[in-house]
Amino acid sequence: MSYEKIKEEFIKDAEEYINAKRQPFEKLSGPELDFAKYQYLENFQDYINHLNFRINALLDDYLISFHSLDEANAFQDYMKPTFDMLSRKYTEGIME
């Protein structure tokens, strides 16, 4: 599987995670909504852990192995903008 396909699947999974975590916001308002958003932001590290778990799982699922540190670093450099974008997306629109 190509790195591009892994990235696409990774983004899809991250967006599903964000949407699932934000779904309760639709039923809340006022202080309850503020508190839910606060808790959501407090769980940012859980999201990062989820992203790390998912990328490793995708690499395992598609039998991607790196034969050198240079290959691993190249993949990491390829994915860094995606991780950055998904990190911003997690907080997007929460703190208005």
What integer pLDDT is reported at residue 96 of this predicted model?
A: 65
The C-alpha atoms of residue 32 and residue 38 are separated, in whole angstroms, by 10
Is residue 57 included in any domain, yes or no? yes
Range of the domain at 49: 3-91
What integer pLDDT is reported at residue 2 of this predicted model?
A: 85
Is residue 96 included in any domain, yes or no? no
What integer pLDDT is reported at residue 1 of this predicted model?
A: 63
Return averaged pLDDT per consecutive 10 residues of the chain, 96 residues in all: 90 97 95 96 97 96 93 96 96 84
Instruction: Single out the residue of 95, 88, 85, 77 nearest to residue 10, CA to CA.
Output: 85
Query: Which tokens sit at 53?
Result: 């778990």
- How many domains does the chain divide into? 1
What integer pLDDT is reported at residue 88 of this predicted model?
A: 95
Are 37 and 24 contacting, i.e. CB atoms less than 8 angstroms apart?
no
What integer pLDDT is reported at residue 95 of this predicted model?
A: 74
> Percent helix, strand, coil in the chain (nearest 5)?
80, 0, 20
